[in-house]
Amino acid sequence: AQKVTQAQTEISVVEKEDVTLDCVYETRDTTYYLFWYKQPPSGELVFLIRRNSFDEQNEISGRYSWNFQKSTSSFNFTITASQVVDSAVYFCALSEHQGGSEKLVFGKGTKLTVNP
Amino acid sequence: DAGVIQSPRHEVTEMGQEVTLRCKPISGHDYLFWYRQTMMRGLELLIYFNNNVPIDDSGMPEDRFSAKMPNASFSTLKIQPSEPRDSAVYFCASSPLLRSGTGYSNYGYTFGSGTRLTVV
């Protein structure tokens, strides 16, 4: 069965610090998708990124970057120069491709607090 | 596009009452998902549809829960009778077909704003 582990339950940083959110996943399939979602205090789930299992290139989008390493089954998320508006719960998720499954399984989330 | 639209945003009901949550997916999306979020269990997939057909309902807690998708633009999640332990935020999400061969695609599931259900 697929599983996503976000070992960091809560992280607190001071504005402008860099912060990395860890995500480790388990899957038996060779084709799968990894996602990150942001849930701000208002409660909606905001899609940040999707990564295919056969594409290990790192991704950078502004202050956000993602490091995908199949060798360690990790898909970590780094926020550079954090801002108060980054305060939210961040979820890593996994979707398997084979077997007709399109289930998106979420980790428990990491609550990030950025203090001014 | 207006995104995934859920209604109502908040629902407070008494134990034993029937509750119906509604969802309008993004036009053209092939998949529709119902998730439940609680502090204890996090985000759980309840059921998902592909082209209006239920594919996997193994996450539905019990027979009190049912979901339908009568057409491509509407889905309901019904709880009858409701119980206090059903109190949670219920999210609907939709997605286009994810598989794109070996191509890189930067889209994902789009979630609605959720329905916060409180059963007293």
If interface means Cβ-Cβ distance under 8 Å, which residues of chain B face chain A? 31, 33, 42-43, 45, 48, 50, 55-56, 89, 91, 93, 95, 98-99, 102, 104-111, 113-114, 116
Instruction: Please check whether residue A16 is in contact with residue A81, taking contact to mean a CB–CB distance below 8 angstroms.
Output: yes
Q: What is the mean pLDDT of residues B88-107?
A: 70
Average pLDDT, chain B: 90
Structure tokens of B100?
């794109």
Report which DSSP code applies to A53.
Answer: T
Q: How many inter-chain contacts (A to B, CB under 8 Å) are there?
A: 58
For residue A98, the model assigns a pLDDT of 54
| Closest-approach residue (CA) in chain B for A59 | B106
Question: CB A52 to CB B110 under 8 A?
Answer: no
Check CB contact of A47 with chain B, cutoff 8 Å: yes
Which helix or strand (DSSP H or E) is residue B91 part of? strand B88-95
Instruction: Please check whether residue A21 is in contact with residue A114, taking contact to mean a CB–CB distance below 8 angstroms.
Output: no
Chain B contact set for A107 (CB, 8 A): 42
Residue B100 in this model has a pLDDT that exceeds 80: no
Instruction: Please check whether residue A32 is in contact with residue A97, taking contact to mean a CB–CB distance below 8 angstroms.
Output: yes
Residue range A68-86, pLDDT digits in tens: 999 999 999 999 999 999 9
| Closest-approach residue (CA) in chain A for B107 | A50
Check CB contact of A104 with chain B, cutoff 8 Å: yes
Residue range A13-66, pLDDT digits in tens: 999 999 999 999 999 888 888 999 999 999 999 999 888 888 888 888 899 999
Residue range B9-65, pLDDT digits in tens: 999 999 999 999 999 999 988 889 999 999 999 999 999 998 999 988 999 988 999
For residue A30, the model assigns a pLDDT of 82
Question: B27-62 burial string, b = 16+ CB within 10 Å, else e?
Answer: eebbbbbbbbbeeeebbebbbbbbeeebbbeebbee
